[in-house]
Chains A and B, each alone.
Chain A
Amino acid sequence: MTVITTDQALPTAARPPRRDIGIKKRYAAEARFKAYGLAAIVFGLSFLAIMLGSIVTKGYTSFWQTNITLPVTFDAAVLDPQNRRGSDPMVLVRANYDKLAQQALAAKLGVADTDKAKLREMKGFISDSARIQLRDELVANPALMGQTVNISMLASANIDSAFKGQIDLSVPEARRKVKDQQIRWMNQLAADGTLEQRFNTGLFTFGASSRPETAGIGVAIVGSLYMMGIVLVLALAIGVAASIYLEEFAAKNRLTDLIEVNINNLAAVPSIVFGLLGLAVFINFLGMPRSASLVGGITLSLMTLPTIIIATRAALSAVPPSIRAAALGLGASRMQMVFHHVLPLAMPGILTGTIIGLARALGETAPLLLIGMVAFVADYPTTPLDPATALPVQIYMWSNEAERAFVERMSGAIMILLGFLMVMNLAAIVLRRKFERRW
């Protein structure tokens, strides 16, 4: 019997000749693949950056608005030359308030009443909205008659653009909307603090207007909120009910398979088709009012339903079968099983799907155009039955305007819309993280 001793040096195995198994090629292919992927991401990100950059650089100025603060004298000689306001209250409504603003500006700039040429250039310096503003002040407080009050009025869109440096002064004066004299006045007023930029609250509170300085997304936000509320109530209720039935109660047969396929297909139907459906069914057949957020909300609900149903069914089927078995084994009825155990566990997934569906509905334009929400609506809707617009539709309408001030407002509105969408998506992510459960 041989005894193997470990201290005796054993021969080392000879290395066989190296085989070419293409290692270099494989690594090269991997490196190339990584480079393609990286290039794709850089490409995508750079376009995102260009888009956001262009929107922000064009739009950030829309959050400021040039205001002119002037001592305005409510001169009875101008407003009510025949002194009839005691007998006819309409006199004060129809009075020439433009002249009050013009007089105040002329006094500030030292332009004589007789200098017609300069007076003409002075028109279009203050926004036409000053007329309504002054009228409302006086009607609200008739005691102002004859008094002089400091009133802050909006500058016209052209002066606003010029003050923000958006008008190219190298263009010959004749082809420019803002004349040299107006620029000189503007600089003079800015120097003594009469003309200044303030945060543009009007952008959030005004409705549609043909004058950019008084155009805002107030009505659009209210319209969008109404529609989101309707979508949330209708789509969530119908979607969750449908999903629970299909997932937990319905028999699995040909019919339910067909329904499932169709729901998945509906999610891919172009949104404009839903708009046509809304137009045909709700407006033409059921006679609901045009431009109303109710119709918009119902149409968007139909569009969002498949998304919510798919998300909800995925969330329901992700609940482990052992939980269902445990509940049934204890003698819970099917409905108790669903409502006590399955639904609470599926809730975060359902909410995430709902928020993403809502975000999609919030940014939807095409179906709203077809049901007439692309309307000029200056007054706030008080109920969902009143005419309204929506945020993306307002953006679409402003994009058709040529004036520089509208371009700026459009970009500002896009920033606000993107802000809303980002907040909603963030909420979805937070909800998912917070309630995520592991088994």
Chain B
Amino acid sequence: MNIMTEQKLEQAVSSAMNATTNDVIKMKGDKVTVHYGEKQALFGVDLDVREKQVTALIGPSGCGKSTFLRCLNRMNDTIPSARVGGLITLDGEDIYDKSIDVVELRARVGMVFQKPNPFPKSIYENVSYGPRIHGLTKTKAGLDEVVENSLKRAALWGEVKDRLHEPGTGLSGGQQQRLCIARAIAVSPEAILMDEPCSALDPIATAKIEELIDELRQNFTIVIVTHSMQQAARVSQRTAMFHLGYLVEEGATEKMFTSPDDKRTQDYITGRFG
């Protein structure tokens, strides 16, 4: 684990502080518990996700940060043994309520995974798949436009505009991950969940994705799980620290990285454990 130098930390914090904040709660977790079979993975987590801000979830492996993320668009539903308790709301609505359709929820809350997972189809089909199944555009021209816009917003258009009909799996790892981001924003979600989106990428590809996340913040609410403290400091406005299934501390990123209230946060971000 890298230990941040004071200088780096300061840079990171000042960049985060420049962000404009208009504090509106987009998603809210209230006493969220998750069981996988007999094992409890989350113990009463209360966490707010603010609109058009990047919230970073940090913590050592197995602390429940990915589990919490997967609750936010009900991806835990796909694990048969998972049981979710407590209340999670999107714009004040309970997303586990019977009146909420999971398909619609996932169209509103998109997801980008740890390993780039483009469909083994063309780049165009990868991006157009979501709008097509949701019927967002009826015409071919409309679809073309959505694909172009999404790829442009994912900073990938310039690299792939001449080979839209080549397989998405033929791109490099970083390009594949940006393709997955383009695919997620093509359905115009309100929030995007990112589960360690850079862990399979080299530093240059990581830098591009981080830059992209910072731009996407203008339009989307982003929750990102990361193992890299520097990344959390660079891209997020809010940081939440998880440990052993409990939320240890949540606050503005600059405060978390300079004067955390909890000893465990302090130890973790300085690299004493984790």
- Where the two chains meet, the residues of A that have a C-beta atom closer than 8 Å to any C-beta of B are 251-252, 320, 322-333, 336, 340-341, 345, 437, 439
Residue of A nearest to B180 (CB): A326
Nearest-Cβ distance from residue B223 to partner chain A, whole angstroms: 13
> Bound complex: CA of A320 vs CA of B119, how far in Å?
11
Residue in A322, A330, A341 whose CB lies within 8 Å of B187: A330
Would A322 and B111 be within 8 Å (CB), given that A328-B78, A330-B130, A330-B187 are in contact?
no
Nearest-Cβ distance from residue A245 to partner chain B, whole angstroms: 15
> Bound complex: CA of A322 vs CA of B75, how far in Å?
12
Given contacts A326-B183, A331-B133, 20 further A-B contacts (CB under 8 A): A251-B80, A324-B78, A326-B113, A326-B180, A328-B75, A328-B106, A329-B73, A329-B75, A329-B184, A330-B106, A330-B110, A330-B129, A330-B183, A330-B187, A331-B104, A331-B106, A331-B187, A332-B129, A332-B133, A341-B119
Q: Which residues of B contact A252 (CB under 8 A)?
A: 80
> Bound complex: CA of A326 vs CA of B121, how far in Å?
13
User: Is B172 an interface residue, CB under 8 A from the partner?
Assistant: no
6 A-B pairs with the lowest CB-CB distances in the bound complex, closest first: A331-B107, A329-B111, A322-B117, A331-B106, A330-B130, A326-B117
Residue of A nearest to B78 (CB): A328
Contact B103 A332 (CB under 8 A): yes
Contact A322 B133 (CB under 8 A): no
> Bound complex: CA of A340 vs CA of B106, how far in Å?
17
Q: Which residues of A contact B104 (CB under 8 A)?
A: 331
Q: Which residues of A contact B184 (CB under 8 A)?
A: 329-330
Q: Which residues of B contact A345 (CB under 8 A)?
A: 120
| Interface hits, B155-186 → A, CB 8 Å | 169, 180, 183-184
Residue of A nearest to B106 (CB): A331
Q: Which residues of B contact A327 (CB under 8 A)?
A: 119, 129
Residue of A nearest to B114 (CB): A322
> Bound complex: CA of A324 vs CA of B78, how far in Å?
10
> Bound complex: CA of A197 vs CA of B73, how far in Å?
77
- Where the two chains meet, the residues of B that have a C-beta atom closer than 8 Å to any C-beta of A are 73, 75, 78, 80, 103-107, 110-111, 113, 115, 117-120, 129-130, 133-134, 169, 180, 183-184, 187
Q: Which residues of B contact A336 (CB under 8 A)?
A: 133
Contact A331 B75 (CB under 8 A): no
30 residue pairs from A and B, CB less than 8 Å apart? A320-B117, A322-B115, A323-B120, A325-B75, A325-B111, A325-B113, A326-B117, A326-B118, A326-B119, A326-B180, A328-B75, A329-B73, A329-B75, A329-B110, A329-B111, A330-B130, A330-B133, A330-B183, A330-B184, A330-B187, A331-B105, A331-B107, A331-B187, A332-B129, A332-B133, A333-B103, A336-B133, A340-B129, A437-B120, A439-B120
> Bound complex: CA of A325 vs CA of B130, how far in Å?
13
> Bound complex: CA of A332 vs CA of B128, how far in Å?
13
> Bound complex: CA of A329 vs CA of B111, how far in Å?
6
Contact A329 B187 (CB under 8 A): no
Nearest-Cβ distance from residue B147 to partner chain A, whole angstroms: 14
Q: Which residues of A contact B134 (CB under 8 A)?
A: 331
Q: Which of B106, B117, B169, B180 gathers the greatest number of chain A CB atoms within 10 Å? A: B117
Residue of B nearest to A324 (CB): B78
Residue of A nearest to B81 (CB): A252
Residue of A nearest to B105 (CB): A331
> Bound complex: CA of A345 vs CA of B73, how far in Å?
26
Contact B117 A323 (CB under 8 A): yes
Nearest-Cβ distance from residue B163 to partner chain A, whole angstroms: 19
Nearest-Cβ distance from residue B209 to partner chain A, whole angstroms: 17
Nearest-Cβ distance from residue A345 to partner chain B, whole angstroms: 7
> Bound complex: CA of A26 vs CA of B133, how far in Å?
62
> Bound complex: CA of A332 vs CA of B119, how far in Å?
13
> Bound complex: CA of A328 vs CA of B110, how far in Å?
10
Q: Which of B75, B111, B183 gathers the greatest number of chain A CB atoms within 10 Å? A: B111
> Bound complex: CA of A329 vs CA of B133, how far in Å?
13
> Bound complex: CA of A345 vs CA of B180, how far in Å?
19
> Bound complex: CA of A152 vs CA of B117, how far in Å?
69
Contact B129 A329 (CB under 8 A): no
Nearest-Cβ distance from residue B8 to partner chain A, whole angstroms: 33
Q: Which residues of B contact A340 (CB under 8 A)?
A: 129, 133
Q: Which residues of A contact B119 (CB under 8 A)?
A: 323, 326-327, 341
> Bound complex: CA of A345 vs CA of B169, how far in Å?
14
Q: Which residues of B contact A333 (CB under 8 A)?
A: 103
Nearest-Cβ distance from residue A200 to partner chain B, whole angstroms: 50
Nearest-Cβ distance from residue B211 to partner chain A, whole angstroms: 23
Q: Which of A251, A323, A325, A336 gathers the greatest number of chain B CB atoms within 10 Å? A: A325
Q: Which residues of B contact A330 (CB under 8 A)?
A: 106-107, 110, 129-130, 133, 183-184, 187
Q: Which residues of B contact A324 (CB under 8 A)?
A: 78
> Bound complex: CA of A320 vs CA of B117, how far in Å?
10
Nearest-Cβ distance from residue A247 to partner chain B, whole angstroms: 13
Q: Which of B78, B118, B180 gathers the greatest number of chain A CB atoms within 10 Å? A: B78
Nearest-Cβ distance from residue B181 to partner chain A, whole angstroms: 12
Q: Which of A252, A324, A327, A328 gathers the greatest number of chain B CB atoms within 10 Å? A: A328
Q: Which residues of B contact A326 (CB under 8 A)?
A: 113, 117-119, 180, 183
Nearest-Cβ distance from residue B122 to partner chain A, whole angstroms: 13
Residue in A251, A322, A332, A437 whose CB lies within 8 Å of B113: A322
> Bound complex: CA of A331 vs CA of B103, how far in Å?
5
> Bound complex: CA of A324 vs CA of B184, how far in Å?
14
Q: Which residues of B contact A320 (CB under 8 A)?
A: 117
Nearest-Cβ distance from residue A60 to partner chain B, whole angstroms: 47
Contact A325 B106 (CB under 8 A): no
> Bound complex: CA of A320 vs CA of B73, how far in Å?
21
> Bound complex: CA of A120 vs CA of B169, how far in Å?
81
Nearest-Cβ distance from residue A237 to partner chain B, whole angstroms: 25
Residue of A nearest to B125 (CB): A340
Nearest-Cβ distance from residue A330 to partner chain B, whole angstroms: 4
> Bound complex: CA of A252 vs CA of B107, how far in Å?
27
Contact A329 B120 (CB under 8 A): no
> Bound complex: CA of A224 vs CA of B134, how far in Å?
46
Nearest-Cβ distance from residue B182 to partner chain A, whole angstroms: 12
Q: Which residues of B contact A325 (CB under 8 A)?
A: 75, 78, 111, 113, 117
Q: Which residues of A contact B180 (CB under 8 A)?
A: 326
Contact A329 B80 (CB under 8 A): no
Nearest-Cβ distance from residue B197 to partner chain A, whole angstroms: 13
Residue of B nearest to A341 (CB): B119
> Bound complex: CA of A105 vs CA of B147, how far in Å?
83
> Bound complex: CA of A341 vs CA of B120, how far in Å?
9
